[in-house]
Structure 1
Amino acid sequence: MSADDVEKTSSEAVKGLKGIIAADSSICLVNGTVGKLLYRGYNIDDLAENATFEEVSYLLLNGELPNASQLSEYQESLKKYRSIPGELIDALKQLPTSASPMALLRTLTSMAGVYDPDAESETDEKRMQISIKLISQIPTIVAAIHRVRKGLEPVAPDPGLCHAGNFMYMINGEKPSEDATRAMDLILTLHAEHGLNASTFTSRVIIATLPDIYSAITGAIGALKGKLHGGANTEVLKTLFEIGSVDNIAPYVKKVREAKGKFMGFGHAVYQVEDPRAKHLKELSRRLGNETGEPKWYEMSIEMEKLVYAEIKRNCNVDFYSASLQHYMGIPGDLFTCIFAASRIAGWCAHILEQLDGNKIIRPKANYIGYEERPYVSVSER
C-alpha cells in the first residue's frame, strides 16, 4: 500500500460522488435544474417524437444520426446478430427458474462473451462490432429468459420486423400491434442513455482496466440489478396492483403520507423539475389501455399523479407511466429492469467506446479515516 493510500487529509469525501466530475464526455447532457436531456446534442423530446431506437443507438455509438444508407446498413447488422448461441439457451434451461431475471441476464451476458471468438479483440472495428452485437442480442436473451421461466420455448428472431417489433414478438410469441411496437421503441429510446449513472460509471471503471467489453457490460448489469438503480417501475406496478381501483387512490395516498412513506415513481435523483422523458409514455399508456380493454391502470395512474403532486409537489418520473404501459404490452413487472438493460446497453456501449479512446485507468483516492499507525500486539496479549 502506498503512502498516498493511507494519507490523512483535511478534506471530506463526497458521499456517492454527487456533483463530482469524473469524466469528459460528449455523449449525454443531463440538466436536472431545467429538465433537459440531450443525446449527442439532440433533445430527447425531438428524438422521442421523430427517431427510432435504431437511429438513436447509432447516434450514441457514432456521434451523428445516420443517413439513409448508413441506417439501412446498421439495421441489417442488428438483424444479422439477433440470434444467440444455442449453448446459451441450453444453459438457461439448466438454471433455476426461481432466479431473478436480472441475475439470469447477468449470467448469460457473461457466458455470451465466452462464445464470441472476437471478445478479446482490441481493434476499434471489432469493438464496434461487439457493441452492435450486444445491442442486438441483449433483447434476444431477455425474451428467452422470460419464456423459459414461463415454461415456454424461446421464439426465434423475425428478420422482417424492426428492432422493437422483433423484441415484442420474441417476448409474446405473436406479432405486436403498431401501438405496442411504438411503445417498445419509445421505451428503448427514452432509457437508452442518462449520463454517468451508476451502471454506466461501472462500465467505464471496468473497461478502463482493459478487459473485454462483455466483462464491462456484465458489471453494468450487476449495478443496474441493485434496488437503488433499476426496478422503480416494478414497484410502481406493485403499488397499482395493491391499490386495485381509482376509488382506492385517495385513501392510499393519505395512508402513505401519514406513515411518512415514499411514493414510487415520483421525484428523481437528478431532475429538480419534471423528468423530460415521462410525458412521452403517458399517451401511449392511454392508447394501449383502450386497445387491451383495461383502461383502469392508466386511469389509476392519472389520478395518482394528480393526488401525489398535490401532496408532495413532486412530478412523476419516467418509471411511473412505463409501469402501466409495459403491463399493457404483456410484460410482467419482474422483467421491467431487463427491458431497461436492453435499452441502456446502447448507452453503456457508447461510454465504453468513449472510455477506450484515450483510456486511463480510473483510480480515485480514498480519504482515510481509520486508526493512526499502531503496533502489532501478539494474540496472547490481546
Structure 2
Amino acid sequence: MELKKGLEDIAIKETEITYIDGNLGRLYYRGYSIFDLAEFSNFEETAYLIWFGKLPNSRELKDLKEKLAEERNLPEYVVQFIKNVRKDANPMDVLRTAISMLGIEDESNKEELWEKAVKITSKIPTIISFFVRTRKNLDIIEPDSSLSHAENFLYMLKGEKPSNLESKVMDVSLLLHMDHEMNASTFACLVVASTLSDIYSSVVAGVSALKGPLHGGANSEALKQFMEIGNKDNVEEYIMKKLESGHRIMGFGHRIYKTYDPRAKILKEYAKMITKEKGLYNLYEVAEKVDEIGSRILGKKGIYPNVDFYAGLVFYSLGFEPDLFPTVFASSRIVGWTAHIMEYLKDNKLIRPKAIYKGEIGRKYIGIQERE
C-alpha cells in the first residue's frame, strides 16, 4: 500500500463547486473566474452561486438577501454565553462553541440543509462582533437588516456605517475566501458529514481545523512580519537574513499554486486602496517590497505570495485585530463548507482511510508483577 502523507493528491469526491489550476494561477467558482466575480459580483450573489450552482435572477437574489438578514439575530442563551465567556478567550473557541450551542437548540429538522447553511452563515458575523464588543466593554450593536452582509458585519463590529470603500473591500475579501476545493477544514467537515451527523457538528469540525496555525493563522503571521520589518528600506536585509537562516517568508507558498495566487493578485489592489484610506500605507509599502523581492528569489522554485499575504493587511485595515482573522476567514468559508457538505451527501460514502501498521506482531503478555 502506498503511503500518501497528508493525503496529498488523493481525491475523495467529484465536485462541481470549485476548480483550481495551480500551474496557471486560476480559480473558478462553478465555472466563473474569481477575477470576474470579484469585479462584478458580491457576497450574497456568489454565495447563491456556490450553494445552488447558478447565478440568481433578481427575485432569487432578493429572497436570499432577505433570508440572510432575517437570520442574523442570536438566541438569548448564545448572547449570554458570549457576554459571560472570558474576555481573553480565543475567538475561534468562542465561535466554535457558539455554533455548537446553536446546533443543540435547532430542532427544525424539516428545514432543508441549504436553509440551515444560510442560518449559520448569517449568524457567524453576529457571534464575532458581539464577542469583540463585549471583550472591549462596549455595548453590542444589533444587526441592521437594511445593510448587506459585508456592511452589517463592519457596522456591528465598529458601531458605525462603513464607507463605500470599506464595504467593497470587505465584500471582496469574503468573496475570495468562500471556497478553495478540498482544504483541511473542508475535508474535516466532510469526514463528520459522511457519518450522517448534523450540519452544525460538521461545521464545528471545520472551525476546529481552521483554528490551526497551519491553516487559518498564516494571515496574521504575514501581518506581524510587515510590522516587524517596519520600513520598506529594511525589507531586503530582513528577507536575506530569514532565508539564510532557513526560515520561511510568511505568506509565501501554497500546496496547490505553483505561481502567484489569483486571490492575492486581487487583494493586493484592495490592500493598496484601504491602507491609504486608513493611514496604514507604510505597511502596504513594506508588503509590496517583500512581494517584489521574495517573488524574484523564491519564484524560481514556484513559490509566490498566497492569499494570506495581503489578507491580514486588509483585515487589519478594516478594523479586525489579528486574533480575529481566522474567524473572519470562517465567516466566508462557511459557504464553501456547507456547499461541499450538501454535494457530498448526495452520494455519501463514509470516509474511512487506512493506516500502514509499522509495529510488532505477536508480543507475549507479561503479568504486572513480572513487569515490576
CA positional deviation for 1:337:
0.6
Q: Which residue of 156, 170, 177 corresponds with 2:156? A: 170
Indicate the residue corresponding to 2:344 in structure 1.
355
Give distance in 2, aligned partners of 1:48 and 1:72: 20
Distance (whole Å) between structure 2 residues aligned to residue 358 and residue 309 of structure 1: 42
- Alignment partners' CA distance in 2, 1:346 and 1:211: 18
SS in 2 for 1:194: coil
C-alpha distance in structure 2 between counterparts of 1:191 and 1:287, whole Å: 19
Helix, strand or coil: the match of 2:355? coil
Give the 3-state SS of the residue equivalent to 1:38 in structure 2. Answer: strand
Q: CA deviation at 1:310?
A: 2.3
Residue 373, structure 1, aligned to residue 368, structure 2: no
Q: Which residue of 2 aligns with 1:114?
A: 104
Q: Residue 6 of structure 1 aligns with which residue? A: none
**TM value normalised by structure 2:** 0.96
Once the two structures are superposed, the pairs formed by residues 47-126 of structure 1 within 5 Å of their partners are 47-118=37-108, 121=109, 125-126=111-112
Q: What CA distance in whole angstroms lies between the structure 1 residues aligned with 2:185 and 2:282? A: 34
Greater than 6 Å deviation, 4+ residue runs: none
Q: Which residues in structure 2 correspond to 1:1-382 (within 5 Å)?
A: 11-118=1-108, 121=109, 125-313=111-299, 314-382=303-371
For 2:341, the aligned partner's letter is: I
Most deviating of 177-186 and 21-30? 21-30
Q: Check the 8 A contact 1:224/1:341 in 2, yes or no.
A: yes
Tell me which amino acid in the other structure corresponds to 1:107.
Answer: T
Counterpart-to-counterpart distance in 1, 2:65 and 2:240: 49
* Higher alpha-carbon deviation: 55-64 or 248-257: 248-257
TM-score, normalization by structure 1? 0.93
Cα offsets for 1:239-294 (capped at 9, x unmatched): 11111122222221122122111111111111011111111111111111221233
Distance 2:270 2:169 in 1: 6
Two-structure CA RMSD over aligned residues (Å):
1.3
Q: Secondary structure at the match of 1:278?
A: helix
Cα deviation, residue 375, structure 1: 3.0
**Structure 2: segments with no counterpart, 5+ residues:** none
User: Using the alignment, how far apart are the partners of 1:293 and 1:228 within structure 2?
Assistant: 30
Contact 2:258 2:304 (8 Å CA) reproduced: no
Per mean C-alpha deviation after superposition, the further-off stretch among 37-46 and 66-75 is 37-46
Name the SS of the counterpart of 1:277 in structure 2: helix
Task: State the Cα deviation string for residues 285-330 of structure 1 (Å, max 9, x = none).
Answer: 1111221233111111111111212222232111111122122111
Deviations 1:347-369 (A, max 9, x none): 00101111221222111222222
State the alpha-carbon separation in 2 of the partners of residues 281 and 52 from structure 1.
15
**Alpha-carbon deviations, 1:161-217, whole Å to 9, x = none?**
111111111111110011111111111110000011010011011011112111110
Structure 2 letter corresponding to 1:354: E
The alignment-based identity, stated in percent, is: 43
CA distance in 2 between partners of 1:190 and 1:22 (Å): 24
In the alignment, the residues of structure 1 paired with residue 105 and residue 141 of structure 2 have an alpha-carbon distance, to the nearest angstrom, of 20
Q: Secondary structure at the match of 1:214?
A: helix
Assess if the C-alpha contact under 8 Å between 1:85 and 1:115 holds in 2. Answer: no
Q: How far apart, in 2, do the equivalents of 1:157 and 1:331 lie?
A: 18
Distance in 1, matches of 2:228 and 2:137, equals 27
Displacement of 1:73 after TM fit?
0.5
Unaligned runs of 5+ in 1: 1-10
Q: Which amino acid aligns with 2:208?
A: G
**1:376 is aligned with what amino acid?**
Y
CA contact (8 A) 1:249 1:300 kept: yes
Residue pair 1:36, 1:276 contacting (<8 A) in 2 also: yes
Q: Is this contact kept in 1: 2:25–2:260, CA < 8 A? A: yes
